[in-house]
Amino acid sequence: MQGMTTEKLLTSVPEQLTPYSPIACKAGQSWNWDQIEFTMLSPPPATFSSENNLSCVLKIQSGHGTVLLTGDIEAEAESWLVANYGHQLKADVLIAAHHGSKTSSTVGFLQTVQPTYILIPAGYRNQFGHPHKEVLARFKNSKAFWLNTANSGAILVNMKEDSLNVQAYRNTESRYWNFDK
C-alpha cells in the first residue's frame, strides 16, 4: 500500500488495516471506472455466523464479460447471494470461493453463476488440501473449465471484443524444469 497511490481501500477486515483509513465493504457499494462497472454484492447488513462469509464479494462487469470475485465465502453466504441476486450472479469467470474449500462452491451457487471458467487461488501443496476433491468434482460437473494457480501459476484473463481468453503463465512461460503431470 505504501508503494502505490490509492484513493480508497475497501475491505472486510478494516480493523487490520487502520493505517490506511479503510472502508468496510458492504452490499450495494458500486462505482464505474473506464467503462467497467464494479458492484459489491456482499456482505449484507445482516451478520453471518462465519467470519469468512463477511468477505467482500465483487462483481466486475464490462461490455466484454463479467468476473465474480468471492473471497472466502462459504455455503451460507452463497445461499444468501443466490436468494438475493439470482441470475444477476451469472459470470463468465468465477474466482473460486475460499480457495476451493469443501465448505464453498455449492451446486446451487455454481448452477446460478454458470461460469465458463473457474479460477482457483490455491497454493501448491497447501496445508488445507485446497482445492478439495469434492469441489473439483462439482467444478467438473458444472462443465466449466477450471485452473488452479497451484498448478498453473499466474492466470491472465483477457476479455475484449466479445472474446474470452484465459492463459496460465506456466503454460505460456514454461521452462524445462516445469513438467505437467
CATH value at residue 31: 3.60.15.10
Q: What is the pLDDT of residues 93-125, one digit of tens each?
A: 999 987 667 888 999 999 999 999 999 887 666
Which stretches of the chain are assigned E, i.e. beta strand?
10-11, 23-24, 30-33, 36-42, 57-62, 65-69, 93-95, 117-120, 145-148, 155-160, 163-168
**What average pLDDT score do residues 84-93 get?**
96
From the list 38, 144, 44, 41, the residue with the least C-alpha distance to 89 is 41
Domain tally for the chain?
Answer: 1
Is residue 43, in this structure, part of any structural domain at all?
A: yes
C-alpha cell, 123: 497454493
Instruction: Report the distance separating Cα 55 and Cα 78, nearest Å.
Output: 11
Is residue 46, in this structure, part of any structural domain at all?
A: yes
**Considering the entire predicted model, what is its pTM?**
0.86
Q: What is the pLDDT of residues 7-51, one digit of tens each?
A: 889 999 989 999 889 999 999 999 999 999 999 999 998 778 888
Is residue 141, in this structure, part of any structural domain at all?
A: yes
Is residue 61, in this structure, part of any structural domain at all?
A: yes
Is residue 109, in this structure, part of any structural domain at all?
A: yes
Is residue 5, in this structure, part of any structural domain at all?
A: no
Asked if residue 149 lies in contact with residue 120, where contact means CB atoms within 8 angstroms, the answer is yes
Structural domain including 167 reads 10-172
**What average pLDDT score do residues 54-63 get?**
94
Q: What is the sign, positive or negative, of the torsion defined by CA atoms of 48, 74, 70, 163?
A: negative
